Amino acid sequence: ASATGADVRLGSPATNGRPGGAGYGGFFWRAAATGEPRVHTADAVGEEAVNGATAPWVALRGTGPGGGAYTLVFAGLGPGDRWFVRTALYPGVCVAYAFERPAVIAAGRPRRNRHRVLVADGHLDPADVAARLAAADRAPTT
């Protein structure tokens, strides 16, 4: 909620005129990787196909500086949010609050989000990701 009592406008480089799908701004994870990592959803593969997607989850697969393979799975888009991803310039995933247009939070109303990140050894394919997310959803919480 706004401390000033006014609406809060959240923007991004894209909403301020920058081309190239630069809609980042929100929860952002920049990973360490050697080589070019891969990004995918259940039905899309690659930076161009995934950037701007509204899929329930996105996975970033890479190899760390020590040589170990990993997969990071992100979930938790809010209404109007999109995924911002990069693999060519650097490995990163963002829950973008203002990917195509500014997001406005009305005065006196909080914006709440719940983001989840699954960290796994090895490279998971979409079926593996779905199974692990389902298992995590069934696990008891404390």
Sorted by sequence, the CB contacts under 8 Å of residue 11 that are 6+ apart come out as 25, 98, 102
Question: Measuring CA to CA, which residue among 42, 83, 40 is closest to residue 62?
Answer: 40
Kindly state the average pLDDT of the residues 99-124.
Answer: 88
Q: In the prediction, which pLDDT does 101 show? A: 86
CA 82 vs CA 26, 67, 71, 98, 127: distances in Å = 10, 31, 20, 8, 22
- Secondary structure in 3-state letters for 37-74: EEEECCCCECHHHHCCCCCCEEEEEEECCCCCEEEEEE
Average model confidence (pLDDT) across the chain: 89
Give CA–CA dist 8/20, Å, rounded: 25
Share of the chain above pLDDT 90, in %: 53
State the pLDDT at residue 1: 58
What are the structural domain ranges in the chain?
8-138
Model confidence pLDDT, tens digit, residues 52-82: 999 999 999 999 989 999 999 999 999 989 9
pLDDT of residue 50: 97
Q: What is the pTM of this model?
A: 0.86
Going from the C-alpha of 52 to that of each of 29, 86, 106, the distances in angstroms are 16, 11, 24
Q: What is the per-residue pLDDT for 19?
A: 78
Which pLDDT does position 63 carry in this prediction? 95
What percent of the chain lies above the pLDDT cut of 70?
98
Residues forming beta bridges with residue 45, ordered by sequence position: 40
Q: Rounded to an integer, what distance in angstroms lies between the CA atom of residue 132 and that of residue 43? A: 17
At 118, the amino acid letter reads: L
